[in-house]
Amino acid sequence: MIDLKFLRENPDVVRASQTTRGEDPELVDQLIAADEARRESIAAADALRSEQKAFGKKIGQAAPEDRPALLEGSNQLKAKVKEADAAQKAAEAEVGRLQLLISNVVDGAPAGGEDDFIVLEHVGEPTTFDFEPKDHLELGESLGLIDMERGTKVSGSRFYFLTGHGAMLQLAMLTLAAQKAMAAGFQLTTTPVLVRPEVMQGTGFLGAHADEVYYLPADDLYLVGTSEVALAGYHQGEIIDLSAGPKRYAGWSSCFRREAGSYGKDTRGIIRVHQFDKVEMFSWCKPEDAAAEHQKLLDMERDMLAAIEVPYRIIDVAGGDLGSSAARKFDTEAWVPTQNTYRELTSTSNCTTYQARRLQVRYRDENGRPQVCATLNGTLATTRWLVAILENHQQADGSVRVPKALQPFVGREILEPVNNA
């Protein structure tokens, strides 16, 4: 949720941010007008309440014969106060409605849409082979790692089974991610996958992409698309202690996305699916520490990508491709040989104070005054990584080499074709 004080003092910055995102800058002026109306309604209601209080004292001091007339005036004043209170509540509701429509203020991201990112760095050279490489699904099926056919039979399109060493390979990278997170001072959690509407709304996932979220109307609960949602709600309504530095969490959970609007995109394999597992980092920090914390999360992702030994690049995502909560986002994209391109594996976002303001999470500054926290998130490992691991580590005989860091968890160095009958 946007800071109204910042909006009043920097309306042109917020308008420019809306334009960068490809969103409506006129919402800024509507919110400014609504905020002014809200403040006027508060002043009017306060004045009437003060008048009512003074009038009450006057009645108490009046002679008995004067009180009936004064009481009649008091009732009229009471009705005016009631109307003013209603007007104030309506004005506050309108401000709240408009605040939810304005995305976070872009901070440093390039302008443009999905294709206007800036490549910040390449790590490793694109993998090449002296044989015709197989894609991850063909490899996964021949190695007995992925069963899309039975996943579709059981649950429909974009569902799958990870089987045998495919399940172990996923557990390996998630466990390695969990270990690395704990070693870096993150508190490991397994999080709920169902959350209340106010938590989903607070993290910004019920805006433009609400149709991608699974909703259970009988229970009024949402299935999370990332454990970021549950971790953001963990401290909802609290004042947390940041005197020793950021509070860092790593959430391990299954995640669910309807993938609405993606019909026909990435229908083969497990790149774009409805259910997957993930270890997600989440940080609470002081706003002035957010940029440095963003780099820390990116460095954690670098470390994990080095461990799975795949070539990748880091991009600065353009404003028009940011989620509503993110002020800036860096994606890491791994090379996928059979697609001859880079595909997203992780992202890390700086959400500044946008989510914490919605969720009312604060800390005390050096003077003991409550201030709004900043929040950041970043993916440390997820199911989609299997695509990059299988394709980049395949060998001419159809086998796949297990990255060294994952071998202790998987229990073998090479995954070989099996009879899937």
Q: Is 280 annotated as a binding residue?
A: yes
Q: Which of 15, 344, 401, 416 is catalytic?
A: 344
> In terms of residues, how long is the chain?
421
Q: Which of 21, 333, 384, 391 is catalytic?
A: 384
State the amino acid at position 222 in one-letter form: Y
158 is catalytic: no
305-310-312 Cα angle (round to 5): 75
Q: Is 40 annotated as a binding residue?
A: no
Q: Which of 142, 283, 325, 347 is catalytic?
A: 347
Q: Is 258 annotated as a binding residue?
A: yes
CA distances from 416 to 130, 143, 396 (A): 19, 6, 11
384 is catalytic: yes
Q: Is 55 annotated as a binding residue?
A: no
- First-residue to last-residue Cα distance in the chain: 54
Nearest to 313 by CA among 62, 125, 185: 125
Give the CA count within 13 Å in the CB-facing half-sphere of 250: 24
* CA 78 to mean position of chain CA atoms: 46
Q: Is 226 annotated as a binding residue?
A: yes
Burial class (CB in 10 A: 0-12, 13-18, 19+), 162: buried
Q: Are 389 and 169 in contact (CB under 8 A)?
A: yes
Q: Which of 8, 39, 49, 272 is catalytic?
A: 272
344 is catalytic: yes
Q: Is 336 annotated as a binding residue?
A: no
- CA distance linking residue 186 with residue 282, whole number of Å: 9
Q: Is 228 annotated as a binding residue?
A: yes
Looking only at Cα atoms, what is the longest distance across the chain?
107
Q: Is 273 annotated as a binding residue?
A: yes
- CA distance linking residue 11 with residue 15, whole number of Å: 6
Q: Is 338 annotated as a binding residue?
A: no
Q: Is 131 annotated as a binding residue?
A: no
Q: Is 259 annotated as a binding residue?
A: yes
DSSP 4-58: HHHHHH-HHHHHHHHHHHT--THHHHHHHHHHHHHHHHHHHHHHHHHHHHHHHHH
Q: Is 203 annotated as a binding residue?
A: no
Q: Which of 248, 257, 313, 328 is catalytic?
A: 257
| Cβ neighbours of residue 77 closer than 8 Å, sequence gap 6 or more | 48, 51, 52, 55
Residue 394 in tokens = 């395949």
Q: Is 198 annotated as a binding residue?
A: no
Binding residue ranges for ATP: 257-259, 273-276, 344-347
Annotated binding site for L-serine: 226-228, 257, 280, 377, 379
Which parts are annotated binding residues?
Answer: 226-228, 257-259, 273-276, 280, 344-347, 377, 379
Active site amino acids: 257, 272, 344, 347, 384
